Amino acid sequence: MRSLRRHRDVPELNTTSTADISFMLLVFFLVTSSMDSDKGLGRKLAPMDEERQEQRDISRDNVLMVRIDADDRLYCDDQPVTHEELQQQVESFVASRQTERYVVGVETDRKTSYNAYFQMQDAVVAAFRSLRDKMARHEYGHPFSACNDEERQAIMDRYPQRISEGGLVR
């Protein structure tokens, strides 16, 4: 029995089309995949409940008012500014405060475009990031991104991002 079998060849599986099949799948995933990864500016909103809300008296000296009017013009303490100037002003404002109880107040008109608002947010975030980076380099000798949690916390305590959009009562 054994000797008879030995002569028979095992037929080979034709795998020529595997490549085509997997190409099909590949193309399917290429088409359906959304490569637009979620990128954006992360923000935290103030909680709504009354107990957690704190009324704070902040002296007018420690408030930087950023305003965008209905025609997307940007004002910083009622002076018209560009985004670069805004970044500079926020930076020097925050750096010159001795207290951490400063506030960057943001005011928009109902007709302000979202794009203008976003660019403003971008500039403010850039200002804070640059400040934190400077402090990290000065104190620890490496950029903010290379800091450990403890150092990061210390820096964030010194330069908290205090942006108020709730409308400040004078």
Partner 1 sequence: MSRFRHRRPHSVPGLNLASLPDLIFTVLFFFMIVTHMRLVQPQVRYEVPQGRQIQKDVRKSGLVYVLIGKPVDAQGRVLSDEARIQVGDRLVEVSEIGAAIDQERGRMSDEERSRLTVSLRVDRDTEMGLVNDVKQALRRAGVLNINYSAREVKAAIK
As a whole number of angstroms, the distance between CA 113 and CA 107 comes to 13
**Is residue 40 within the footprint of partner 1 (CB under 8 A)?**
yes
Dihedrals φ, ψ of 81, to 5°?
A: -135, 165
Neighbours of 87 (CB within 10 A): 21
**Is residue 48 within the footprint of partner 1 (CB under 8 A)?**
yes
- Cβ at position 4, least distance to partner 1 in Å: 31
According to CB under 8 A, which residues from 77 to 106 bind partner 1? none
According to CB under 8 A, which residues from 120 to 139 bind partner 1? 121-122, 125-126, 129
Q: Which two tokens stand for residue 138?
A: 């000065």
Sign of CA pseudo-dihedral 108, 157, 43, 58: negative
As a whole number of angstroms, the distance between CA 150 and CA 156 comes to 10
In the complex with partner 1, the residue whose CB is nearer, 62 or 133, is 133
In the complex with partner 1, the residue whose CB is nearer, 62 or 130, is 130
Stretch that binds partner 1, among 42-50, 54-62, 134-142, 146-154 (CB under 8 A): 42-50
